[in-house]
Amino acid sequence: MIAELGTTSSHDDHHEQEVPLIRTAYVRLSRKVYACLAVAVTALVLPAGAFAWYQMYVQNHTMQPLGFQYSSFNSGLNYNAVQWNVPLAIFGLTLCDSGGSCYPYSYDDGGFFSEFRTISYGRAKCHWPYSNQTVYVSFCETSN
C-alpha cells in the first residue's frame, strides 16, 4: 500500500524514514478526499440561488402620500435600506413573508436608513407614512 503510493524505502530498520512518507501519502489521500467532500457538500448544501442577491427595488421615484414599494421575493433577506430627501420627516422599512404578513415598521429620520432584520423567505418593503405630501426616493434596496 505504502509502496504504491510512492514509498522508496525498503529498509526495515529505517522506520523513522518511513514515517514522513507515510504522512505524505496520507496527506495526499486526505487532500483528495477533502476536495471531493468539499465539492459534494457544496453541491448538496447550497441550493440554486443561495448566493448573495441584491435588488434596488425603487430608484429615483416620487412616492405618493402613504406610498410603498416591494422588492421581489427571495430567501434569507437580511438587509433593507432607503434614501429619501425630505428633511424633517421619517421613513419606514420592513420585511414581509410570502403570506403577506410583515414585521412592524422600523422608522428613522436620517435621510438614509438601513435595518438588519432577517426573514427566511419574503420581500422587502419601504413605506412613506405621510398622508399629506409626496417624497422623492433615491432608492430602496435589499439583499441577502
Using CB under 8 A as the binding rule, whether residue 142 contacts another protein is answered as no
The whole-angstrom separation of Cα 81 and Cα 100 is 20
54 φ, ψ (degrees, to nearest 5): -140, 140
What's the longest Cα–Cα distance across the chain? 93
The contact pattern for another protein, residues 34-73, with x = CB under 8 A and - = no contact, is ----------------------------------------
- Residue 136 grid cell: 422623492
| Identity of residue 135 | V
CB nearer to another protein: pick between 21 and 139: 139
Using CB under 8 A as the binding rule, whether residue 104 contacts another protein is answered as yes
Residues lying near another protein in the complex (CB under 8 A): 78-79, 81, 83, 85, 87-90, 92, 95, 103-119, 129-131
